[in-house]
Structure 1
Amino acid sequence: MAVATGLLVRHGQGGARLIDIAEAAGVTPAAVSYYYPDLSDLYADTYASAVEQYLVRRRERVQSISEPVEQLSQCLALGVPQEHSSSRAATVLLIELSALAIRQERIAASGRRFEAEQLDLFQEILDAGSRAGVMELSMSSRDIARALLAVEDGIAIPVVAGRLDPAEALRVTLRTAASLTGTRALVAG
């Protein structure tokens, strides 16, 4: 999976064929096929692993902070892929394999879990901020969570493609969150 991940991030699916993975791993294609008779299963495991790592990293970052506004700020910052970071590699991998969810149920299931857990985390932060009186939500916390996740997802491709600077992407994301939560501190962040 580590070899497949590296190839997918660097070269996409076209550079992560069975023969490419076997060669990079120093094994025969038959050895890879023994464990993964269908290459889409290797991709599904790779996707599931990336999802798990991303979710764990995001939840750990948020749990290390007690203030809801800072939690939201840090959570959103993790969603902007930074050059030469694990967040960028994970984002590239997730983008690369997401299209397979149309035909590969295991990837689709991981994608649904990924989305649901991110929405839940955003909603928990927003609800905590509202209860603490530090956020004035412009609509339901679930709707804001959905909007923030849509902004994050929509901004990821231009960032990894080099069309949008990560700092500008974060600024736009934080401004959107500030607008939806009535939290000026996010814009200053």
Structure 2
Amino acid sequence: MARPKRQHERRAQLVEIARQLVVERGVVALRLTDVAKRAGLSPASVLYYFSALSELLKEVQDQAVERFCSARAEVARQEKDPRRRLVAMIRSGLPTGQDDELCRLLYELGTVARRDPAYAARYLDLYQRQVALYLGILEAGSALGVFDLASDSETIARNLVVLEDGYGLHMLMAVATFDVPTAERLLLSYAATATRCDLDQVLSPEPTP
């Protein structure tokens, strides 16, 4: 039996290899033998650390969701002005381009969520955490009088998350429907309408003294 430290290191190695393979090849074509080959192990050895490929991929998903949500929460913490926080949040939710590995990973694993309730539950958590971040920004801006919300804050927050997901998916297709500036502009347009706030002022460079 592997020692606890060694077992932890090997599990981490397998998770990293699985992450790389999902990004490179996609989740649909991935097989346990692919992970084992890159790790220099037999498939049976991989199953010593993870009972099935699905268990390994759930760990990959868990880490990807946590990284994505933590990064967005940090973006929100860095801005004090609700308007700037809203703009920064929108930018942080879109892929930076087709080479954005974290977003590609989340979208790839999302294909499994359509069939597996365990994966779907993790994506529901991802969605709810992002909605909560937007809710905090919208309600703070409303309380300060910088936002005049066109509908309830939860509806706007949900729409923003779903629009991000939709634009992001189109941006990562083999032939992208949107580039980053266009997707960002469309999202900011909706946000400005929904908050009745001129976000162009936030986007403009601050005057130098």
TM-score range, shorter chain: over 0.9
Counterpart for residue 10 of structure 2: none
Contact 1:73 1:186 in 2 (8 A): no
Moved more, 120-129 or 34-43: 34-43
**Partner residue, 2:146:** 134
Q: For 1:48-70, what per-residue CA distance to the aligned partner results, in whole angstroms no more than 9, with x for missing partners?
A: 11000100000011101111011
| 1:152 equivalent among 159, 164, 171 | 164
| TM-fit CA distance, 1:106 | 2.3
Output the amino acid matched with 1:122.
Answer: Y
Match for 1:107: what amino acid? Answer: Y
Is 1:169 the counterpart of 2:183? The answer is yes
Q: CA deviation at 1:15?
A: 4.5
Cα distance, 1:97 vs structure 2: 1.2
**TM-score, normalised with respect to structure 1:** 0.92
The one-letter amino acid paired with 2:70 is V
| Deviation, structure 1 residue 104 | 2.3
> CA 1:42/1:12 → structure 2, altered by over 3 Å: closer, same or farther?
same
Q: The residue matched to 2:199 in structure 1 has which SS?
A: helix
Q: Residue 73 of structure 1 contacts residue 174 of structure 1 at CA under 8 Å; is this kept in 2?
A: yes
- 5+ long unaligned stretches in structure 1: none
Provide structure 2 residue ranges, at least 5 long, that are not aligned to the other structure: 1-14, 204-209
Aligned to 2:106: 94
1:42 aligned partner, one-letter code: L
What amino acid is the match of 2:59? D
Aligned residues: 187
TM-score, scaled to structure 2: 0.84
User: RMSD across aligned C-alpha pairs, in angstroms?
Assistant: 1.6
C-alpha distance in 1 between matches for 2:132 and 2:101: 23
Q: Secondary structure at the match of 1:13?
A: coil
Partners of 1:89 and 1:10 in 2: how far apart? 9
Counterpart among 48, 57, 81 of residue 62 in structure 2: 48
Instruction: Identify the match of residue 199 of structure 2 among 172, 185, 188.
Output: 185
Once the 2 structures are TM-superposed, how far is the Cα of residue 84 of structure 1 from its aligned partner? 6.8
Could you tell me how far 1:105 is from its partner in structure 2? 2.8
In the alignment, the residues of structure 2 paired with residue 53 and residue 26 of structure 1 have an alpha-carbon distance, to the nearest angstrom, of 27
Distance 1:11 1:187 in 2: 42
Which residue of 39, 46, 63 maps to 2:77?
63
More helix by share: 1
Is 1:111 the counterpart of 2:123 in the alignment? yes
Identity percentage of aligned residues: 32
Work out the CA distance in 2 between the residues paired with 1:128 and 1:53: 25
Other-structure match for 1:123: 135
Q: Deviations over 1:94-114 (max 9, x none)?
A: 111112223323212211111
Deviations 1:10-57 (A, max 9, x none): 110244311111122222222211122221111111111100010000
Task: State the structure with more CA Rg.
Answer: 2
